[in-house]
Amino acid sequence: MADGVGENASAPSKTCRKCKNTAQSGLKCVRCDSVSHASCVKLLKNIRRIDDKTIDCCNTVDQVGKPQLNGGASNDVSDENKTLILEISYLKKLLEHKQLLIENQNTTIWSLQEQIKLLNKVNVNKQTYATSVSKHPNTTKHITDSITTNPTKINTSLPSSINIDKGLSTTDKVNSSTIINKPDKKSAATVQKNAAAVDSAVNNVKSVPNGNNLQEEPFIEVSYKKRRPRTSNSPIIGELELNSEILLKAAPKLAFLHVYRLHPDTKSDDVINFLKPTFSEVTCEQLRSVKPESYSSFKVTIDNSNLTKAMNPASWPKGTCINRFFHSKNTPATSLFSQ
């Protein structure tokens, strides 16, 4: 080992062990005469600083007893420094976010405390309600005593305003000594009605195991009388054909049309003259239009047998609108002129 140290001293290395750059000035090793920058010495591990100008960087070689290359030691130290830097940055981040974590935990604690308070209030209300119900002289007291002393029997000492036997026949009514074995559909429904009337204590009665069965009532088929459909009183239409000498005649069935979108200067006579060759029985009334300055409207009356022909678009001028005319039940149609 002495030979190795002397050889290093005779050929000192001027390369910094940390940054691998040539060091013009810095701290010199007392053993190997290598020079390292002062800033790099602070980052190196296993370096003993003697004074402001000298260091001992070969301490590791003496401890291990085997010389190491400067490059390999520098890489190991660099990796360790990177690990330490990452750990330090992680701890700094943790310190920065600790307040947020504490606030989240405080919120969770506050929520749990509020839930505990709410549950305590609910328990107090339940106890108060149970105490007030147990003191009731007419309902729950007798039922509670009956369930406590003899849970297989039902105590029917209820107020007169409550009818437990409602819906049962005379032979199926249950007295105070009747024992229930299995709560079938009918008995369960009866007990549920009683529970709604007397309080929540009766709700436990329908689930108590018992010894005997109630007498089941057979199903009764109920039939309802079907309603007769309403029949409309349709009129009778006469078919007797009479000669022209008899004055009794049927009124002709008329059809009413609403003709609009005609020129504002159009008159009733113009409409009649246009339709007279096709519909000889035509009559016309001029109506008050919504916009008299834009168009005119008319009520045209024809025989009902000519309605199909009148609703043909080819029978009217282009752009004219025709629709069925519906009379109002309350007010008659207003007209300016009557024919």
For residue 141, the number of C-alpha atoms closer than 13 Å in the C-beta half-sphere is 6
Band the pLDDT of 79: cuts 50, 70, 90: confident
C-alpha 127/C-alpha 224 separation (Å) is 50
pLDDT tens for each residue of 173-229: 444 444 444 445 555 555 555 555 555 544 444 444 454 555 667 788 888 778 887
CATH, domain range 254-324: 3.30.70.330
The answer to pTM > 0.75 is: no
User: Which range (106-120, 207-221, 232-246, 315-329) has the least confidence?
Assistant: 207-221
Higher pLDDT, 272 or 235: 272
pLDDT tens for each residue of 136-162: 555 544 555 555 555 554 444 444 444
Higher pLDDT, 29 or 163: 29
pLDDT, residue 197, reads: 55
Tell me the domain boundaries of the chain: 2-68, 140-207, 254-324
Question: 285 by DSSP, 3-state: which?
Answer: strand
| Residues 6 or more apart in contact with residue 158 via CB below 8 angstroms | 139, 142, 143, 164, 194, 197, 198
pLDDT tens for each residue of 7-39: 333 334 477 877 877 777 788 887 777 787 878
